[in-house]
A and B are shown apart, each in its own frame.
Chain A
């Protein structure tokens, strides 16, 4: 590693400002938003291919994750009551503006998809594939139909909702599936589009880190919630997502120069190492035993979810750390300056 160039500073004081965002709110949103987006896309695939018991946990998970996300985002505002001011403008130069509009379309879609799962009876669902592989799940489906009967008697409004639910649900599932990749990727642009060295210097690789992490998390949710007979797509996506994330993180760290220190040291370093270990563990578990053992599949899924969360919190922390020492701002700029000048 090339030793850092000599540089002077103003009493070692930071140059750029640390983000004021709370880690739990914003790094938490990076994780939950990615999980939601990728889960919606996977859920649609599950539904289309006749795997309702894989689709269900993914749709419910996506709705839960995006609801928590919206709460976290509003909570993090300095003036939460003014959150609607985000809808005053649409600015392509602001990933946050673009994101707010994406979420405005995605969240209702994901919620509609989940609502259908909860309200519409399974036998009215569409494209139900071979149920013989579902086995004991059929009993659960039958009792869900009885539950719907009880709900229907709760009032005409709920009954109307029950009949409208399949159509709305279909629309929601499709919409959420198409918007999901946007939800999973725009947040990478959001954090990279700052002067925070650890984020901006890695702006080329960050979208791939984020979608890999999101795919891995969604696959983890599928492994956690679906029966063995229907979890094969989750196992495959776990492999693709995990490998993409691992490769993209390595590439990022290699290409950001001196700023890579922030990804290796301190709290950020610990989180990134944990993320890598959990990803490998989840991947190994899913590949080796995910087909045969329900507990192994569930544990692997949980590991992948935890890995995705650790990665997001680690990247967030690395960003903050990179703003505290002026060398992470000065050295890359001096190197760029030197290389640009003839």
Chain B
């Protein structure tokens, strides 16, 4: 990474602590660890989120995508449960799971369920591109939209590498998960974490969650669940790691997640350089046009 990239990236400036850029003193970074092996697909998280945040109804659809009728994250869906029915065994023979090997069709089905949410990236592209300062970093290290400032320019929408933030067309502004900023301020946990009956959604200090998660992955792998992996946890990834990360049982793209997301700001220094060269070129070309008669 070259020096000009360093100056723009929270992950380097704040040593992985994005709130440190903005606040002299701040509480520890808070986040979510979503262990999808514990998810039962009850959607209590979706409901709790909508209830607490007064998120409007966005379609009573039948998609045919297993039990997923909320389709994806957006302005009016801040927690989205994905369902994938797969013809794959959940674990190999070392796993101590209830199986009747004689039953027909048994042993080759698993049902993946995962509650998706805004990742509150360390290098948040949405925050970087916001031209009004509406999107800001809270003292908890989360990323929040100020609805009274947002003028609906929509730049954050294509900037997000996960396709999280969306625009309410009738309202004009953009909306996304706030990690229940109002609840955190009162020392409470976010609505989705509170509602989750299996503690698939775990809320807490990010550093502690990451430790717990790596322990859980090891435990699962030793039990024969070789597909278990963490996603969004690594500070070396393209967004500097997220405030919300996941334990998945398949490749990210199977869940609708990008395999190698990038905060576009990483490439911005090169873009400005090329633009400067191009602008100088235009000036030169115009000058050259006047060399000669006529």
Contact = CB atoms under 8 A, between A and B. Distances in A.
B245 to A, nearest CB: 17
Interface of A: 7-11, 13-21, 38, 41-42, 45, 48-49, 76-80, 82-83, 85-86, 88-89, 91-97, 100, 180-182, 184-186, 188-190, 192-196, 200, 203-204, 206-208, 210-211, 214-215, 219, 229-237, 240-241, 244, 291, 319, 323, 326, 329-330, 333-334, 336-337
A315 to B, nearest CB: 14
B197 interface: no
Nearest to A74: B151
A231 B163 contact: no
B95 interface: no
A180 B280 CA distance: 11
Give the residue among B165, B264, B287 with the most A Cβ atoms within 10 A: B264
A85 B8 CA distance: 23
A45 B165 CA distance: 45
Contact of A330 (B131, B163, B253, B267): B253
Contacts of B277: 207
A200 B264 contact: yes
Nearest to A40: B286
B251 interface: yes
Nearest to B166: A17
B256 A207 contact: no
Given A96-B129, A193-B271, A214-B282, A13 B151 contact: no
A94 B253 contact: no
A194 B160 CA distance: 7
B163 A15 contact: yes
Given A45-B289, A77-B153, A77-B172, A96 B256 contact: no
B167 A20 contact: yes
B44 to A, nearest CB: 21
A49 B277 CA distance: 25
B173 interface: yes
A86 B132 contact: yes
Contacts of A215: 282, 285-286
Interface range, B side: 35 or more
Contacts of B191: none
A237 B286 CA distance: 6
A93 B268 contact: yes
13 contacts: A8-B253, A38-B282, A83-B151, A86-B132, A88-B132, A89-B131, A94-B128, A181-B282, A192-B264, A229-B294, A240-B285, A240-B289, A241-B285
B251 A8 contact: yes
Given A19-B157, A86-B153, A45 B290 contact: yes
Contact of A334 (B65, B133, B255, B260): B260
B256 A42 contact: no
B275 interface: yes
Nearest to A204: B274
Interface in B111-138: 125, 128-134
B253 A10 contact: yes
Contacts of A210: 278
B281 interface: yes
